[in-house]
Amino acid sequence: MAGAPQDFGQPYVLEDFLPVEQPTTSTLLCAMCHKESSRQRCSGCKNVKYCSTDCQSSHWATHKLLCKAFVDTQDTRPSPKSRRALYFPTDVARPRFIWLEYNIDGAPLDMQKCFPTTPKEEIKTIGFYDRYLPYWIQLSYDSNLHSQRILSKNMSIGHAFRGPVVALAYDPESGLGKPALDVDTTILGALREYAKLREEYHGPIFVEQPQHRYSDEEWKKIVRP
Ligand SMILES: [Zn+2]
Ligand SMILES: [Zn+2]
pLDDT tens figures, 66-100: 999 999 998 899 988 899 999 999 899 999 999 99
Say if 8 falls within a structural domain.
Answer: no
Task: Assess whether pLDDT exceeds 60 at residue 177.
Answer: yes
CA of 220 to the centre of ligand 1 (A): 54
CA of 155 to the centre of ligand 2 (A): 21
Say if 190 falls within a structural domain.
Answer: yes
What is the domain range of residue 156? 76-201
Task: Assess whether pLDDT exceeds 60 at residue 36.
Answer: yes
Say if 83 falls within a structural domain.
Answer: yes
pLDDT at 105: 74
Task: Assess whether pLDDT exceeds 70 at residue 26.
Answer: no
Say if 219 falls within a structural domain.
Answer: no
Q: How far apart are CA 54 and CA 119, in angstroms?
A: 46
CA of 10 to the centre of ligand 2 (A): 40
Say if 98 falls within a structural domain.
Answer: yes
Domain total in the chain: 1
Ligand located closest to 32 CA: 1
Mean pLDDT computed over 207-215: 60
Say if 101 falls within a structural domain.
Answer: yes
- Which residues fall within 8 angstroms of residue 25, CB to CB, at 6 or more apart? 47, 48, 184, 186
Per-chain mean pLDDT for the chain: 79
CA of 134 to the centre of ligand 1 (A): 18
pLDDT at 7: 36
Say if 125 falls within a structural domain.
Answer: yes
- Which residues fall within 8 angstroms of residue 87, CB to CB, at 6 or more apart? 95, 96, 97, 98, 114, 164, 165, 166, 167
**If you ran DSSP here, which 8-state letter would residue 210 be given?**
-
**If you ran DSSP here, which 8-state letter would residue 215 be given?**
P
CA of 98 to the centre of ligand 2 (A): 18
Ligand located closest to 57 CA: 1
Say if 25 falls within a structural domain.
Answer: no
Higher pLDDT among residues 219 and 54, named by residue: 54
Work out the percent of the chain whose per-residue pLDDT is above 70: 78
